[in-house]
Every structure is written in structure tokens, then in C-alpha cells.
Structure 1
């Protein structure tokens, strides 16, 4: 039984997928299984059309501990990149997110791009919007620091300098800035 966070993720994912255009990267479990069957039948058949060859350049299969998985065809020096169907997407994203120490978008993309072919940035951002520790980290107010660069002049009263000190995080009633002249 999936937990509530996974259920919310699946609902939002389904809503997002239904609103977007048809995308070949989006794979439901049914579509995933049909692609595995199609690859299997195309590999055994002798007569192939152009569409079949194009399909085989995009998809291949591999058996891992008795389970047939859909992969991107492997070339000489390339790692195996798996395709993920929507029902297992949450688990893949959660594992990558935890292994990067609640890493953000870029760290997760870097972690996942070598292993999975069809995990998109939108999927990662959707997942990150549901991670409570990451949301709290983003909502944390940051204290601003003001760096002043000194200006030196030879003549007296030839220039002036105005600086603003930001006290928005620690405002005094209606006063949020201090101006130094």
C-alpha cells in the first residue's frame, strides 16, 4: 500500500500528464509492458519496416534477476539506461533524493541521468514540491549582508556615498531600512 506522499505524487503526476501533450517519455505500466512485447517480437521477426527499425533504435530489453526491463539500446562505452514507468517513478526519485542528501533539482538530475532515460526535470520538480524538509529549507528566511566598497577621493566634499542597511527580517515597526549618508 503506497503512503500518502506517494499517492499525492501519483495524483499530481496524472493531472500533469493529462494536461500535457502526448510524450514518448511518459510510460504507464500498460504501455511499458506493450513496448517490451513489441521489442521481443521485433527482435525475433525477420521482416522489419522503417518504423520498426526506428523503434528498435530507441528501445531494447534486458533481463535482470528474472525480470524483463525496457532499456535504451547500449552502444560500445555507454552505461545501461533504464526506462521507468509512472508507477515506479516515485520510488526511483525518492531513492535518488535521499542518496543525494535531499539534493535539489540539479543534484538529482546528475544522479539520475546516468541510470534512467525518461526521468524528466518536470518529474523531479514535482517530487521536490512534495518533500517537506526541502520546502522548509526554501522557506527559511535568509539574513542579508551588505558589502560596502570604499571610495577614496583626494578632494574634500567632492563626493558622497549613500548606503541602505536592510532590516526587513528584524523590522522596527514600520521601519525596515537604515540609510547611511
Structure 2
């Protein structure tokens, strides 16, 4: 069931990325291509406009053998804000969703604030696919008069003919 949800989530995110020209969502290839461009821009002396843009926006964080793409920080004391690709996004949002106790959108947004490209739309998309959240969602209650039958033998005996 979780695999089906994972596949459906990725399909809908890819459809959103294709339809939106200014999407912040990154495919795995784009993520690693940006990292390679950033490494190349650091080593080249004569830089292009694109390389200046990448150097001003991104930074690479080395965690052991793993390299992560993060938002450029003003100083190193700031906490890093990570970029994630679409393939990792499901697992990250799922972990945040479960750790907030199937929390709503706002709880998850504050929990996921250390990720740069996880949007409200992707969080709402995940929440709409979560089975537990669909079960606990408030249902529309029917307000009004409760219809009960009249249980009397004398009903209609005094009517006019």
C-alpha cells in the first residue's frame, strides 16, 4: 500500500513539475547536474553568468562521503537549508508526517522548514494521499430535524372526510 502511495505521489509531482515552468522541484538528474555545475564553477577562473548564479544560490555540504546541496549561507553558523530531489521527497515528507502525529499542513511546514524546495502544495498532496488522514478527516454532519415515525393507533382518526 505504501509503495502504491509512493508511486502515485511521484507521478503527481512529476506532472506538477512538467505543468509549471518555474517549479522548484528537482529531478535526480537536475540535482546532480547542479552539484557538478557548482563544483565546476568553483574551479574555473573566468565564469559565465550561469556560474555566478549557481555560486550565489547554492553551496555543497560535505557529510562524510555524502555531499548535499544546500542554500548559500551568509555565515557558517547558520543551520543549512537542504535541497532534495523528487525521489527523496516522499520519504522526507512521510517521516515528518508520522513524527508530527499525522499533523496538518502547518505543523509539517514548520517541521520541514530546513528543506528549501518542499512546497506547501507537495505537503498537501502527500496529506491528501495519506489513508490515516482520510479516515480522521472531519465529515459533514447532517444538521436538522430527525425524522421519527408516529407510533400511535389513533393517528389520522380525527381527520375530516
Same-fold status (TM-score > 0.5):
yes
Query: Shift of the alpha carbon at 1:169?
Result: 4.5
- CA 1:50/1:12 → structure 2, altered by over 3 Å: closer, same or farther? closer
**Structure 1 residue 32 and structure 2 residue 6: aligned?**
no
Partner of 1:107: 107
- The answer for unaligned runs of 5 or more in structure 2 is 149-161
- The answer for unaligned runs of 5 or more in structure 1 is 143-167, 175-181
Q: Deviations over 1:104-136 (max 9, x none)?
A: 1000000111x2111111110100001111112
Query: Shift of the alpha carbon at 1:170?
Result: 7.1
Q: TM-score, normalised by structure 1?
A: 0.73
Whether the aligned pair in 1 keeps the contact of 2:37 and 2:51 (CA below 8 Å) is no
Whether the aligned pair in 1 keeps the contact of 2:9 and 2:90 (CA below 8 Å) is yes
SS in 2 for 1:3: helix
- CA 1:73/1:105 → structure 2, altered by over 3 Å: closer, same or farther? same
What is the RMSD of the two structures over their aligned residues, measured on CA atoms? 2.0
Partner of 1:83: 83
Query: Shift of the alpha carbon at 1:19?
Result: 2.2
**Structure 1 residue 130 and structure 2 residue 104: aligned?**
no
Higher strand share: 1
Query: Shift of the alpha carbon at 1:63?
Result: 1.7
Q: How many residues align?
A: 146
1:58-69 matches, cutoff 5 A: 58-69=57-68
Higher relative contact order (CA 8 A, sep 6+): 2
Q: Which stretches of structure 1, 4 residues or longer, exceed 6 Å deviation after superposition?
A: none
